[in-house]
Amino acid sequence: MKKIYIDGQAGTTGLQIHERLKNRPDLQLLEIDPALRKDPQARRALMEEADLVFLCLPDAAAKEAVELMLGMDTKIIDASTAHRTHPDWTYGFPELDAQHKKAVQKARLVANPGCHASGFISLVYPLVLGGLLKPDTKLTAFSLTGYTGGGRKMIEDYEGNKTEAMASPKAYGLTLSHKHLPEMKTVCHLEQTPLFVPVVDDFAQGMLVSVFLDPADLTEEGKKLTPESLYQFFSKWYANTNIQVHPGQPALFSNTLAGSDQMELFINGNENGYVLNARFDNLGKGASGAAVQNMNLMLGLPEFEGLVL
């Protein structure tokens, strides 16, 4: 029986991971006395005992936790932004290709992807690696998300202190410096930082990420594509994964996969260009579900054990 410790269990991601793992007979969850949850020695003792530790902490605290674990051989999954582009950490998106999956299986240190980044990367990585999209393209994208992705304070505001304005969508990250941009650029091997704006709305869970492609940004091979052949390209790329690919739809809701740990891709376009969409749960494949999937692979367990697909 593998032993698991969640450092930061009181946060949204930690609670969701705990919910997914608490009834699994193949795992033992190590629990800390609530009065000691910030005590370094108490935490370190559980980290040493564990086979794998989830870090569900702010960036600075996650870095401190990694320092606290120096000298241990315990596996770590960091759900924060702190290590997603660090060369010593494996980026935890196993569906991207066989190389990524093998890297997760062999890794001791895995950085869990960001929610917005997961949608963007699922759409852009295959195009760049498949030789269809020019790496020097400056892409444009936006994301519609439920408020649970904003953490405990945002959840409390929407569920207990909601203003009239909060009943409408809110665009944020308008400085064009969202914290997921570095991983979006790095993992996709892009030479330019994308233009990206997220939008949060008055629904709890769900996410829809949209990426726009101008035909001029495609390689010569990419310019031969049609919406149907691009659909076939993505279908082949993600065959036998928990990512399902669909032809284009005239309209999409953002919260259809709330409560699920899978992802859906939709391929829309015409001679004027393409809009590619990724739909998933911001707390599922966008956070806790992805973390559990990575844990399963790192510990040699069935990849989708305990997930809702």
Q: What are the tokens at 154? A: 């945002």
Q: How far is CA 126 from CA 35, 133, 231, 262, in A?
A: 47, 9, 12, 18
Distance CA 243, CA 95 (A): 8
The three-point CA angle 85-104-82 to 5° equals 25
DSSP state of 108: S
Residue 254 token pair: 């953002």
Mean pLDDT score of the chain: 97
Q: What is the mean pLDDT of residues 65-76?
A: 97
Cα radius of gyration (the chain): 19
At 295 the pLDDT is 98
Return the SS3 of 143. strand
Q: Provide the token pair at 66.
A: 């990694």
Residue 64's pLDDT band (cuts 50, 70, 90) = very high
| pLDDT confidence of residue 237 | 98
Q: What average pLDDT does range 11-36 have in this prediction? A: 96
Active site residues: 115
| Tens-place pLDDT, residues 200-244 | 999 999 999 999 999 999 999 999 999 999 999 999 999 999 999
More confident residue, 180 or 10: 180
Alpha-helical regions (H) of the chain: 12-21, 40-49, 59-68, 98-106, 115-129, 151-160, 181-187, 227-237, 289-298
Give the pLDDT confidence score for residue 20 in this predicted structure. 97
Q: Which of 82, 118, 74 is nearest to 290 (CA)?
A: 118
pLDDT tens track for 116-137? 999 999 999 999 999 999 999 9
Residue with tokens 């498949």: 130
